[in-house]
Amino acid sequence: MAWEAWLTLATIAVAVVVLTRDLLAPAATLLGAVLALLVLGVIDAEQAFTGFSNPAPITVAALFVVARAVEKTGALQPVLSSTLQNGGRARGALARLLIPVAGSSAILNNTPIVAMLVPQVSSWAEKRDRSPAAFLMPLSFAAILGGLITVLGTSTNLVVSGLLEAGGREPIGVFEITKLGLPVAAVGVSALILLAPRLLRARTPARGDLEDNVREFVVDMEVVADGPVDGVTVEAGGLRHLAGVFLVQVRRGQDLIGPVGPTLVLRGGDRLRFVGRADEVIDLQSTRGLTSAEQEHLTFDTDRAAFFEVVVGASSPLVGKTLREAEFRGRYQAAVVAIHRAGMRVEGKLGEVRIRVGDTLLLLADPGFRSRWYDRNDFLLVSPLEAATPVGTRQALGVAAVLAFIILTASTGLLSLLEASLLGAFALVVGRVLSPGEARRAVDLDVVLLIAAAFGLGAAASASGLADEIAGGLVDGMSGWGTHGTLAGLMIATVVLTELVSNAAAAAIMFPIGVAAATSIGHDPRGFAIAIAVAASASFLSPIGYQTNTMVYGPGGYRFLDYARLGAPLTVIVIVATVLLEPALW
């Protein structure tokens, strides 16, 4: 190989290590890799930044706005409400849930669908004495499978479509991928319905731990009249920096004060509410001037306080920080009651625990917490413990019409997908379904930048000769297996890569290799490109490979290996189905 190819390979390897160890955000990592290859002369500026002029990132951004409008107005509720019905065996309940989810995911980003359904499915399962773990992972996997049905279903499809366009070929039509994606999704959803009840174990979700152990997390103390803390501030009374619990509320007669600032002057008879691991904390119980105010039954002022379950995603500013370093209480006006990781509660001082991707935090906050934070990057999921079914608004019909307009005009060729998506997003803002601020927050800038940077990395793999070298080795190694063997090798490599880096990055890296391999054996590169899009989306082996998998990690109470238990056979099924179908279709 030429030195450029070796340098590109080394750069990609470093990027993979950085991504797998969460040393930098994915977008920053890929942008850094592309910048390094630009400075070292492997690619020129046009190749490095080709993604920023490609329609794919802008199309994804516009579709984020549309998806946010669907979520806000409950436009999908009529479709999804039928999924949660009474009674029935596990497989019947799964079928009613997964089929509509996969269908909805074919035309809408997976994330809002899963975000809408996680609290509803969890509540539905618990009321029927079933483990949410039996439903939440299949929910995520079905949403991923549904994304294979149309080019709108996932950003990975749009990345591959953009790469084809950048290479001088026609972009993927809205329903062009359907002839492969629909049968693969149908086989995959059928496998989930059959295998999930057998392979998934019952788990205790994070919210179940709160419900079972609420008195471990919340303790009431009363200020002794004329005692050491009567008439002094919270800070001066030593109640601001306790080792294991946080002061979140003060009840003074009929008044409820919260959040509690350090300058609040305490008075005799005030009832103080602390959250944390109260059963392990000594400094609270030994604080002079406070006496226990525990009641037989713990009650909460639901007008001023509520419990929430939040999931930390890869782009959250909390990742790698402790709660104290992040100034969590001041920033979010909420107190962390417990942290769950890999299906287990994290022990020790909560303020000293470093937050990781996939952690589920149980919070006590005011009821407005969700409206402030559910559309930000800080949390992938914000769910109140008492989840109510969203009700469709009057604007839902208009949003559905916009979605139909995008699909109709893009599929018939009246408009490009970029033009249709931008017009749809613009109409939703002009029609006041979303405010400009809501539309801006709906766009996950990290994802858009990551997609744009991935194009540069793919261009480097092609321009340096690395793609041709890898494709040549793959074809030679699989020469005895023909087209099926070459395609299987490409898909396996893509599946492995997509678990290490993002789906978009995996697709961009493998795209030039797939095109080179198809060309060398005389096969249509378009078919291999679409197969790579399927493989890059087939992220079923870990909770961090895809964001919907991360969203259900804590709420389902899953262990890390639970994903491989169900995901490994599903991955094999998707690969086999694609390898058998693609050569017959292209």
Contacts of 213 (CB under 8 A, 6+ apart): none
Q: Please state at what angle helix 133-146 crosses helix 560-585, rounded to 10 degrees.
A: 30
pTM of the predicted structure, to 2 decimals:
0.78
Low-confidence ranges of the chain (pLDDT < 50): 215, 278-281, 295-303
Q: Give the ranges where 310-390 is alpha helix by DSSP (H).
A: 328-332, 369-373
If residue 247 lies in a helix (H) or strand (E), which one and from where to where? strand 245-252
pLDDT at position 79 is 62
Contacts of 441 (CB under 8 A, 6+ apart): 375, 376
Of 540, 533, 551, which is closest to residue 573 (Cα–Cα)? Answer: 540
What does the alpha-carbon distance between residue 153 and residue 108 come to, in Å, rounded to a whole number? Answer: 6
What type of residue is 573? I
What type of residue is 100? P
pLDDT at position 391 is 52
The alpha carbons of the chain give a radius of gyration, in whole angstroms, of 26
User: Checking phi first, is residue 327 left (phi over 0); if not, alpha (psi -120 to 50) or beta?
Assistant: left
Structure tokens at 387: 């989840």
Q: Are 176 and 585 in contact (CB under 8 A)?
A: no
pLDDT in tens, 407-439: 999 988 899 999 999 999 999 999 988 889 889
Domain ranges of the chain: 3-205+399-585, 225-288
What does the alpha-carbon distance between residue 521 and residue 583 come to, in Å, rounded to a whole number? Answer: 12
Bridge partner list, 308: 363, 384
pLDDT in tens, 146-171: 999 999 888 899 999 999 988 889 99
DSSP percent split of the chain into helix, strand, coil, nearest 5: 55, 10, 35
What does the alpha-carbon distance between residue 125 and residue 486 come to, in Å, rounded to a whole number? Answer: 44
Architecture of domain 225-288: 2-Layer Sandwich (3.30)
Of 482, 372, 391, which is closest to residue 80 (Cα–Cα)? Answer: 391
What does the alpha-carbon distance between residue 239 and residue 245 come to, in Å, rounded to a whole number? Answer: 9
pLDDT in tens, 66-120: 988 887 887 766 666 666 665 567 788 888 889 999 998 998 888 888 888 888 8
What does the alpha-carbon distance between residue 158 and residue 206 come to, in Å, rounded to a whole number? Answer: 35
Structure tokens at 459: 């261009």
